[in-house]
Structure 1
Amino acid sequence: MFSRLSFVCALAAAAAVGASQPAVTIQNGTVRGVTLPELNQNLFLGIPYAQPPVGELRLRPPRSINASFGTLDATAYGPHCWSAFTTGFDDNSGFQNSEDCLTLNVIQPTNVTQKGPFPVDVWIHGGGLFTGGSADFRYNGSYLVQASIANGAPIVFVSINYRLASFGFLAGKQLADEGSLNLGVRDQRLALHWVQENIAKFNGNPKKVTIHGQSAGSNSVHTQIVAYGGRDDKLFTQAIPQSGSGSRFPQPTDAGLQATFTALLGNTTCASTLNGTAAAQLACVRGLPVDAFRNHSVGTTGIVRDGDFIQTPSVYQSYKTGKWVKVAFLTGSNTDEGRSFARLGANTTADAYNNLTVVPAQFRSRLLELYPDNPELGSPFNTGPFELDPVQNGLFATPGTQNKRVSAIVGDVMEYAGPRFVGQTVAHQVPFYKYRFNHIPYSVSFSVEDFVGHFVEVAYSFNSQNNDTAFWVQNHFTATYLGPGAPVADRFLGFYMSRSWAAFIATGDPNNAKVTSKIAWPKYSEGGQQLVWQTQGSALEKDNFRAEAMDYIIDNVLLGDY
């Protein structure tokens, strides 16, 4: 298996031998990539799919490339899009960043017995819509492609960058009137069109595309499914949303969103336009240096209801009213998602009420009735009557006797009720496979949690073999390395999950994974069961726990009119 270092060395060695480079001619030119003979794969990295969104194109919807770039060296990942952070816990701190960042990567199986065209997986990274990128080696699709080859059903893997933070999700009346909202998800949409137009040249099947993401990437997957009122543009046929079921969409002129735009004006040289026209204000912010724009556009951003790309108050309303593209699903969440997001330090019910910041105030009292002050019932789940000791590195480290109560509520509101609602709503119409990940991961960098938190399943669904402990620690990344040296049980779980994911991408059925001693994974429509992934023996369970509380969340927090 490749480590991160050997993977990088292979790229460098292959790139140094120009004559051996694979070349593919697409609409805008010829791309020259890298061959990884050990994995039977060709890699084409850093391919632009849109015009650079700089200068006059900053804060505008993405535009297709309308000229040839000739021959492109596609042997290195493109830079990540700028994040919202300048220092601190920033997923982009270990990578090159640029405003000219709208690129994608293609991993193509080669020298396989199957002839293709092969199904396609398009990965949309997470990071809260304000950080992350496709060059992150935790998203190395080579191992997922490798799993597909082992299944006997190869896939093509595509990963994309899209604009983040205020570069991609700034709102306000000025941008709304111009039609320049939701730019990051519009970037994703243009990348999906690029796949339709070009992926056949990489032996990919444009009629068999899965959109796949985790966290904000998962929310993006749901957003693409309900975009334009659920209009089917024939861009994808399947979806894998991991740990994220979508969101509510505020109006673009909501106070917090408008305040972010106004602060950008007021804290830069654009302050002189505060009393000017919208055109003058937008022209000014488009002309700001990148650092000035980035450092002074910190505030509320996100996907908003623009009446065009987003037409309903929430993803959930779209599913309820049938305004969604009919695709097959593989989806789920992790056992203790809420522990990763909850505001900790609650010692009384009043503290718990105040710490439920992700829940509108009108629903908190009833939720606290539905989730009693009993640590045995809280998250981390199945850890007995005691609050866990705080982790010593400062993350998740605020003690509180009601932390488990708050974490249970936050997890169900943010990550668990949504997938259950989507399954209950659509599983009778399309194939729908649901899971719960229930394993505290082995880590090679540093432990930030002693629970089954957010993101921890990603290494297993990719079967990540990349390890550079110094890199992960330096850049504050958690990393689970499933190559040699990892516990055997963890390695098998990654082997099993990645083959199941690859089988779903290729065939629409995760049960087609070539794994011995596997468990039959029923569709959700067959009794509402989900597969629990864990090293102590994966198993099926009925997805009906905390039913009264979850129903209240669905009916009020997710679907309520407020």
Structure 2
Amino acid sequence: MQKVKLLTAVLACSLAVCGAPDQQPLTSVSKPPAPTVQLDKGVFTGVQKGNTQSFMSIPYALPPIGNRRFRLPEPYPVYEGYYSATSFKPSCPQQAMTMPGWLDNELKHALDKVVDSMYDHFTPDSEDCLTINVVKPADATPLSKLPVVVWIFGGGFQVGGTATYGDPSEKMVERSMQLGQPMIYVSMNYRVSALGFLASKEVRAAGVGNLGLQDQRLALKWVQKYVSNFGGDPSKVTIWGQSAGSISVSLHMITNNGNHENLFRGAIMQSGGPIPVAGVENGQVYYDDLVKRVGCQNSRDTLQCLRGIDFRLLQAAIDTSPNFFAFQGLVLAWLPRVDGVFLREPPQHLVLKGEVAKVPFMTGNCDDEGTLFAISSTNLTHNNHMRDYLRQFMLPKASDAQIDLMLRHYPDFAPAGSPFDTGFRNMLGPQFKRMAAIQGDIVFHSPRRFFLKNMADKVKTWSWLSKREKSIPFIGATHATDILNAFGTGELRDYIIRFVNNLDPNGNRGLGIRWPQYDLSKPQSLEFQDSTFFPMVIKPDDHRKDALDFMANISILHPL
């Protein structure tokens, strides 16, 4: 029971972004006047906390409601009048998270608590959600021309919102000022789940795929237009994301034939890269199910019919689609796919063609990325179960020989699985550690290594690996366990601040050791460890080389 309580506490903290316990909000004796900023003919009132000022939930697009549902975002018209930007408005509609019924009751109860803690931060939600937030040093003026970091939140393209990161973002700006490298922090809400990533032949024909990514792109254009009013320099923007946000960052680098349109000059990818996805038609089964559940199956124009459905009825139907805690794990129902507009080909194919924005970037992973998403498949007990799973979900078009090769690279031997380097410990089921290794590698580790191999000789890159929290029962250094290192008091935060300012994570001030640039002749990563004496070390980036190379190749041949 003690292990389950620990699992719950750590997961709730990592996924919901707990504030660092040793930092308290800054206060002052006399309350300063409310800060304001003018955009077009509009005046926005924000809030001041300590040495930072925040302007929350500024609309950057027209509400995607009514006939605008399932359409490309439209820029917000000229601002006029007075606006309150003193609190967060609703997140975009969230997809329900559910657990498989066969899970051990104690573990299921613990994970249910984790999901509840996530929703405490993401709700309330509303279709009217396309808003953007800005945190700035209090003394920044339109003449300051400070570098800008734009945060794209994660959540499996199914859940998430900017309100989760409100207080941590203020602390990050405060820290940048302490380092003498002040910056502006921006974050945006974007549509998730089916509302943001509907996929089908109908979606391709209408040109409305990847709406969540299109939302993000429009927000980046908003930054170009308005960030100077807050003291930012639109020519010094770095895009940064975690998980789905990190994947989004990589896709912004490869869309538009690699032309970044001067929207950003650097990128930071925290657990995510160019994922192996194919055409929107691969989501047809989920689209057809959604259409049927809301009664649009007999309509001549099912997409237009979906626009007219009562939102709560539509939401209830969306909630029945598989989420990332479902049996199929990271083979998601709603995620970016090749739509012919934002993505013209599978991401890996575009990388191999060199259609990538040539900007410096940082990229890293947690060691045990896949454990969280393998919990739902703990009922797999032997090799044939694993083979059937791969055939049904991950590699439906692969040959028997290719599946055999996958199973050889990921053997039925617990010490080879994830949590890595833990021997026979943490076996939630006979195939759990094996499945965790596969899930983590296909979506997170392999895309990172693949991206570095194809880009490190063209732009400056830096890589990291987080092995902290290895002691968490069952899941180890799982996905999202490095968020506190970035948003709390960890060393990664300082590296990020320096990169945003200098396009290089190194510097003479702040925590950290010298981080070598990634070199294909001698690839190295900065490793974060659970060690008092050596919390950070530089190590070769060669873990599971053959398996990750195989995973990259099979992904190119058989994208999801």
Work out whether the TM-score is over 0.5. yes
Say whether 1:360 aligns with 2:399.
no
Native 8 Å contact 1:117 1:203 kept in 2: yes
CA deviations 1:262-315 (Å, max 9, x no partner) are: 3333223x44xx33422xx344322222101111234332222221211112x2
In structure 2, relative to structure 1, the CA distance for the partners of 1:208 and 1:241 (3 Å cut) is same
The equivalent residue for 1:316 is 348
Q: 436, 444, 452: which one pairs with 1:407?
A: 436
Aligned match of 1:198: 226
Amino acid at match of 2:545: A
Mapped partners of 1:135, 1:499: distance in 2: 22
Could you list the runs of 5+ residues in structure 2 that have no partner in the other structure? 1-18, 99-111, 322-332
The equivalent residue for 2:545 is 547
Q: Residue 462 of structure 1 corresponds to which residue in structure 2?
A: 487
The one-letter code of the counterpart of 1:127 is G
Aligned to 1:331: 363
Instruction: Tell whether the 8 Å contact from 1:359 to 1:413 is kept in structure 2 after alignment.
Output: no
Amino acid at match of 2:275: S
CA distance in 1, matches of 2:275, 2:419: 24
Deviates more, 1:75-84 or 1:259-268: 259-268
Name the CA shift for 1:513/1:331 in 2 (closer, same or farther; >3 Å): farther
- In structure 2, the CA distance between the partners of 1:197 and 1:113, relative to structure 1 (3 Å rule), is closer
d(CA) in 2 for partners of 1:5, 1:143: 9
* AA of the residue aligned to 2:337: V
Question: In the TM superposition, what is the alpha-carbon distance from 1:259 to its structure 2 partner?
Answer: 3.2
> Are the structure 2 counterparts of residues 377 and 28 from structure 1 closer, same or farther at C-alpha, using a change threshold of 3 Å?
farther
Q: Which residue type is aligned with residue 336 of structure 1?
A: D
Q: Paired residue for 2:48?
A: 35
**CA–CA separation in structure 1 for the residues paired with 2:204 and 2:353:** 25
Secondary structure (helix, strand or coil) at the match of 1:97 reads: coil
Correspondent of 2:340 among 307, 327, 331:
307
Q: 2: distance between equivalents of 1:266 and 1:427?
A: 47
Partner of residue 266 from structure 1, selected from 283, 292, 299: 292
Is the 1:222–1:241 Cα contact (8 Å) retained in structure 2? yes
Alignment pair present for 1:421 and 2:450: yes
Residue in structure 1 matched with residue 171 of structure 2 by the alignment: 143
Work out which of the residue numbers 280, 284, 303 in structure 1 matches 2:305. Answer: 284
Q: Using the alignment, how far apart are the partners of 2:45 and 2:265 within structure 1?
A: 29
In the alignment, residue 426 of structure 2 is paired with which amino acid?
L
Change (3 A) 1:549 1:267: closer
| 1:173 Cα deviation after fit | 2.9
1:534 corresponds in structure 2 to 529
Cα distance between partner residues in 2 of 1:553 and 1:236? 30
Shift, 1:96, TM fit:
1.5
Say if 1:501 and 1:519 are closer, same or farther in 2 by CA, change over 3 A. Answer: same
Give the AA of the match of 2:449: R
Q: Is the 8 A contact 1:43 1:75 kept in 2?
A: yes
**1:4 to partner: Cα distance:** 12
**Aligned AA (2:290):** L
2:238 aligns to what?
210
| 1:160 partner amino acid | M
Offset from partner CA, 1:305-333 (integer Å, 9 cap, x none) = 221211112x2211111111111111111
1:185-218 Cα distance to aligned partner (Å, 9 max, x none): 1000000000000000111111111111111111
Deviations 1:443-502 (A, max 9, x none): xxxx77550000110111111xxxxxxxxxxxxxxxxxxxxxxxxxxxxxx332211111
Change (3 A) 1:415 1:288: same
Q: Find out whether 1:371 has 2:410 as its counterpart.
A: yes
1:548 to partner: Cα distance: 1.7
**SS of equivalent residue, structure 2 residue 281:** coil
Question: CA–CA distance in 2 between the matches of 1:335 and 1:358?
Answer: 24
Q: Pick from 45, 53, 67 the counterpart of residue 56 of structure 1.
A: 67
What root-mean-square deviation, in Å, do the aligned CA atoms of Structure 1 and Structure 2 show? Answer: 2.8
| Deviations 1:30-49 (CA, angstroms, capped at 9, x unpaired) | 21101112xx1110011110
Whether 2:383 is the aligned partner of 1:349: answer yes
Any conservation in 2 of the 1:150–1:514 contact (CA below 8 Å)? no
Read off the aligned partner of 1:544 and give its amino acid letter: D
> CA-to-partner distance for each residue in 1:11-48, whole Å, 9 max, x for gaps?
9x99xx7x8111111136221101112xx111001111
Mapped partners of 1:326, 1:421: distance in 2: 16
Pair 1:138–1:540, CA change in 2 (3 A): farther
Distance in structure 2 (CA, Å) of the matches to 1:243 and 1:409: 15
Instruction: Decide whether aligned partners of structure 1 residues 248 and 552 sit closer, same or farther in structure 2, where only a CA change above 3 A counts.
Output: closer
Query: Aligned partners of 1:429 and 1:291: how far apart in 2?
Result: 48
Distance 1:137 1:530, change over 3 A: same
- Check conservation: 1:387, 1:400, Cα contact below 8 A: no
Maintained 8 Å contact 1:214/1:244: yes
Q: 1:58 to 1:424 in 2, by over 3 A?
A: same
- C-alpha contact (below 8 Å) 1:243/1:415 kept by paired residues: yes
Matched, 1:430 2:451: no
Partner of 1:275: 298
Alignment partners' CA distance in 1, 2:474 and 2:88: 31
Which AA in structure 1 matches 2:43? Answer: T
* 1:496 pairs with 2:491: yes
1:160 alignment counterpart = 188
Aligned residue type for 1:545: H
Letter in 2 for 1:350: N
Q: TM-score, normalised by structure 2?
A: 0.83
Amino acid at match of 1:439: R
| Deviation (angstroms), 1:86 | 7.5
Instruction: Tell me what 2:555 maps to.
Output: 557
Give, in whole Å, the separation in 1 of the partners of 2:485 and 2:353: 34
CA spacing shift, 1:304–1:346, aligned 2, 3 Å = closer
Alignment of 1:219-234 (within 5 A): 219-234=247-262
Question: What is the Cα deviation at residue 387 of structure 1?
Answer: 3.1
Distance (Å, rounded) in 1 between the aligned partners of 2:475 and 2:292: 43
User: Are the structure 2 counterparts of residues 289 and 69 from structure 1 closer, same or farther at C-alpha, using a change threshold of 3 Å?
Assistant: farther
Which residue of 1 is the match for residue 519 of structure 2?
525
Structure 1 CA distance, aligned partners of 2:299 and 2:491?
60
What SS is found at the alignment partner of 1:24?
strand
Q: Is 1:501–1:510's contact at 8 Å kept on the other side of the alignment?
A: yes
1:453 and 2:478 correspond: yes
Would you say 1:97 and 2:125 are equivalent positions? yes
Q: Deviations over 1:77-106 (max 9, x none)?
A: 121000121876363454211110000110
Does structure 1 retain, via aligned residues, the 8 Å contact 2:378–2:430?
Answer: no
Counterpart residue number, 1:296:
317
Structure 2 CA distance for aligned equivalents of residues 520 and 331 of structure 1 = 16
What is the identity percentage for the equivalent residue pairs of Structure 1 and Structure 2? 32
Could you tell me whether the CA contact under 8 Å between 1:4 and 1:137 is conserved in 2? Answer: no
Q: Secondary structure at the match of 1:260?
A: helix
Q: Is the 8 A contact 2:419 2:474 kept in 1?
A: no
